[in-house]
Amino acid sequence: MPSDLNIEQYTSQFTDLDSERPLQLLADWVQEAKDLGIAEPDAMNLATVDEKGNPHNRMVLMRHITEREIGFFTNLNSSKAADIFATQRTSCTLWWPQLERQVRIEGTAAEMPRNIVEEYFQSRPRNSQIAAWASKQSTELTSMERLHEEFRQFELKFSDKIVPTPTFWGGFTIHVDKIEYWHGKPFRLHERVILTKEDNNWSTTRIYP
């Protein structure tokens, strides 16, 4: 063994990886990032594809995770929603630089059941709820004054009432069919493992960095 490599670098970081529960390690890594106080530990880059095949990406917050799917919340009239309604395929990346970890996910998106949307929307801070009413996300806005004016109008409209969940606001679940865990190591000898769904079984493949 060359003297500047040590045994720790050969030790797999993925000993807990369980192909029966492909998203468990993702949930663990998000939790670890939260526990360390890392900002926006569930922020992910989300790529969608429009009907002409053009990719578009942006950040969203992964606010839903189960054994087989992840999810996020958004405006159902937004550009990303239009892409998803047109082509369904999505790809996401999460990255925690302090932990030298990356997760890449691919899957098919579908509109989230309304009960999950309602529960999440009602848990949000009141001003965020009002802002959701005021934003016609991804459409042209003439000025910031206009946005603030619309915010104030909805503030007045709902004054002492519970802010209802807008019908144009919702979420998407991504049914995951591929997930790659990446752990950075010295000398770019990074560790990568891909879990792929084939029919109803998951296979695990280790790949070169």
Sketch the per residue contact string, 74 through 93, with ligand FMN: x for CB under 6 A, - otherwise. Answer: xx--xxx-------------
Interactions with ligand FMN, residue window 158-187 (CB under 6 A): none
Q: What pairs with residue 181 in β-bridges?
A: 103, 193
**Three-class SS of residue 206?**
strand
The single residue among 87, 88, 108, 137 that binds ligand FMN, judged by CB under 6 A, is: 137
> Does the protein bind ligand FMN through residue 147 (CB under 6 A)?
no
Q: Is 188 an active-site residue?
A: yes
Characterize the bridge pairing of strands 69-75 and 64-65: antiparallel
Asked if residue 25 lies in contact with residue 34, where contact means CB atoms within 8 angstroms, the answer is: no
> Does the protein bind ligand FMN through residue 43 (CB under 6 A)?
yes
The closest alpha carbon to 186, from 42, 37, 2, 17, belongs to: 2
Q: What is the dihedral of CA 209, 89, 49, 132, to 10 degrees?
A: -110
> Does the protein bind ligand FMN through residue 73 (CB under 6 A)?
yes
Stretch that binds ligand FMN, among 12-20, 52-60, 140-148, 172-180 (CB under 6 A): 52-60
Q: What is the set of active-site residues?
A: 188
Residues of this chain that interact with ligand FMN (CB under 6 A) are 40, 43, 56, 58-61, 72-75, 78-80, 137-138
